[in-house]
Structure 1
Amino acid sequence: MPIMTITEEPHSDDVHEVPLWFDPLCPWAWITSRWLLEVEQVRPVRADWRIMSLAYLNLDQREGKGLSDDYRKLMERAWGSVRVCAAAAEHAGRPALGPLYTAIGTRLHNQRRREDPTVITEALAEAGLPASLAAAATSAQFDQLIKDSHHEAFDEVGLDVGTPVLRIAGTTLFGPVVTPAPRGEAAGRLWDGLLAVAATDGFFELKRTRDRKPSFD
């Protein structure tokens, strides 16, 4: 079924669906996604996985301004994994995104296999999806679906941010950018703070310069 036509609805009166837009390539979104899974264990929250594209954001929407040659090349390669995610969601529905993202992200980030061409086929197999979906990596067939999902977030949050993007209590926010992922009740306390931020009319930004690299422990 088309992945961009499903509206955001709470699963029940007690469980809040939290859309999180990710590009599988982004290490910071990966850490945030692992934090959100921790939140699921201690708060009435359920992750609603959605896709965005760093390549589309940086090369098309931002027109490649300010990108180094190395980063531009990385963005040109970044379409592959998100295209496979779009193909999987089209094939099996958006719930397929969670297991596939976990399978891809574990290999890209925890196992540090960014240059390994077998990552996608292994991840598809782990997620119980057809190996044929790997062909989407080099096809533009699902690009419009990716862009539609991308715009769901970035038309609200703006173009001066990246991923992760969350929608909390109807408010779309960039972040949280954190390393390592908080666990257990610490994850819940961060969630509580974000709820307070999202409910504050006119709130826009809290930020400090990152002084460490992403940690996947």
Structure 2
Amino acid sequence: MIDAQPDREEVPFWFDPLCPWAWITSRWLLEVEQVRPVRADWRIMSLAYLNLDQREGKGLSEDYRALMQRAWGPVRVCAAATEHAGHDILGPLYTAIGTRLHNQRRRDDPAVLGEALAEIGLPDSLATAASSTQFDQEIKDSHHRAFDEVGLDVGTPVLRIRRTVLFGPVITPAPRGEAAGRLWDGLTLVAATDGFFELKRTRTRKASFE
């Protein structure tokens, strides 16, 4: 296990709390922190902004369009909490929200945001940000810091390894222990390869949060 140290490599990781694949990848990155000298730098993006504004809603079903409208709520609360308590609150809040949305499968439960805020000691009043546009520009600014580099033909998760921004890895379930570290090692090699753009195969498993 890697001991705590000040010179860990920071890995910016952009997520939308609603995305199950980003959630799994985020849990993998926490495993990597235990076996490699890295530290996740949590950052927000918006699937709603990406799909409804940047992609102009092209090809979306009505059900998915409605889901994207609801997706604004959790990420807005993350932005409000960051302004209230500072950037370091984002990781604990993401864990509190994501555990309820994904592990507990409570996507449609309106109590999730308030409970998550309470768990990490933040005021319940921040949940009102879910229906406000007050923090939308901050969300878009954070979003653009990833997607201006990685492009619009991907989604989340997005992470930066040193100077390279990548979509992924899309994995299920999250590798644990040294297996997580080996995946990280492979990604660092890929990210260092000049001209590398894409690896992909069709998903054959549903998201697993175990």
TM range (shorter): over 0.9
The match for 1:72 is 65
Q: Aligned partners of 1:119, 1:192: CA distance in 2, in Å?
A: 35
Q: Aligned partners of 1:190, 1:14: CA distance in 2, in Å?
A: 21
* Cα drift, residue 170 of structure 1: 1.1
Identity percentage over the alignment? 84
RMSD of Structure 2 on Structure 1 (CA): 1.1
Are 2:202 and 1:209 equivalent residues in the alignment? yes
For residues 142-198 of structure 1, the C-alpha deviation after alignment (integer angstroms, 9 at most, x for no partner) is 000000000000000000000000000110000000000000000000000000011
The match for 2:82 is 89
Q: Tell me the amino acid that sits aligned with residue 55 of structure 2.
A: R
Which of 21, 44, 54 is equivalent to 2:47? 54
Q: How does 1:46-195 map to 2 (within 5 A)?
A: 46-195=39-188
Q: How does 1:27-42 map to 2 (within 5 A)?
A: 27-42=20-35
Could you tell me which runs of 5 or more consecutive residues in structure 2 were left unpaired when the two chains were aligned. Answer: none
Q: Aligned partners of 2:141, 2:123: CA distance in 1, in Å?
A: 24
Please give the secondary structure, in 1, of the residue aligned with 2:187: helix
Q: Aligned partners of 2:128, 2:19: CA distance in 1, in Å?
A: 21
> TM-score, with normalisation over the residues of structure 2?
0.97
Q: Aligned partners of 2:5, 2:92: CA distance in 1, in Å?
A: 22
For residues 51-89 of structure 1, the C-alpha deviation after alignment (integer angstroms, 9 at most, x for no partner) is 000000000000000111110010011100000000001
The match for 1:44 is 37
Which of 16, 21, 29 is equivalent to 1:23? 16
Please give the secondary structure, in 2, of the residue aligned with 1:19: strand
Could you tell me which runs of 5 or more consecutive residues in structure 1 were left unpaired when the two chains were aligned. Answer: 1-10
Q: Aligned partners of 1:17, 1:156: CA distance in 2, in Å?
A: 18
The match for 1:4 is none
Runs of 4+ in 1 over 2 A off after TM superposition: 11-14
> TM-score, with normalisation over the residues of structure 1?
0.94
